[in-house]
Structure 1
Amino acid sequence: MVTPDAFYHVALKVPDVGDAVAFYREHLDGDLLEHEQPDEEETGATAVEHAALMVGDKHLYVFDRAPYEAAGFVDELPYGVLHFGYTVDDVDAAVADLDGDVSFVMEPTVFGDLKVAFFEDPAGTRIELLEFLD
């Protein structure tokens, strides 16, 4: 069993990242933290447009497509909620603690200053475990 430290964020797939940012800023007083577009030559999980906002006390990430979708780990996903993210002290240990019947979307992987892993609940909802690296 994994005991997360905190609920950290929700990630959404949207048809237009700029429109989503404008909506959350205007209607929910979201604070834009970053908005990045990939370089034309980028491929894989980093080849996505995304923005990060603080809405209330939680992060909201909006993507034009999920990084694990862009990397080819899953088929094309519909618009809407991509996943929920929970922080843990050690992603590798948390993954090892999960029961054997868990379906992984992505094994532990380092992205910059994060280590992340994605798995699915029985209904197919994706859950991210994330560890902040020093």
Structure 2
Amino acid sequence: MASAIYPKAKEQLLQAGINLSSANVKVVLVDGADYTYSTAHEFLSDVPSGGRVATSANLGSKTFTGGVFDAADTSFTAVTGDPSEILIVYVDTGTASTSRLIAYIDTVSGPASLSVTPNGGDINVTWAAGGIFAL
């Protein structure tokens, strides 16, 4: 699956329902064997909890230039669990059923290159120079 912005997130971005500049934006590391992208997915609760391997802190230094969303590189701390190949950017509300999915990033072809087998260490994500995603 190629990287994509979730259609429900696009709707909310176009209707001013999401303000990425003030929202708590995080990234979840996901095991591709436990999650399949769907255009119908809207919230973090659509991603099976067993497939969510690790969650980042809030993304810092967010920028919005020329329709491109970018942020400082991020990391996952002391990660254990299944091999992981997917990053999902989402707005964290503190509740999975209301935390809106924003972008699905296939780390083989997306703006970050990552396919890892967690071993208890940290996993660092370096975003590509072109940003995390573009509208």
TM-score (norm 2): 0.27
Q: Which has the higher contact order (CA 8 A, sep 6+)?
A: 2
Q: Which has the larger radius of gyration?
A: 1
TM-score (norm 1): 0.27
Is the helix fraction higher in 1 or 2? 1
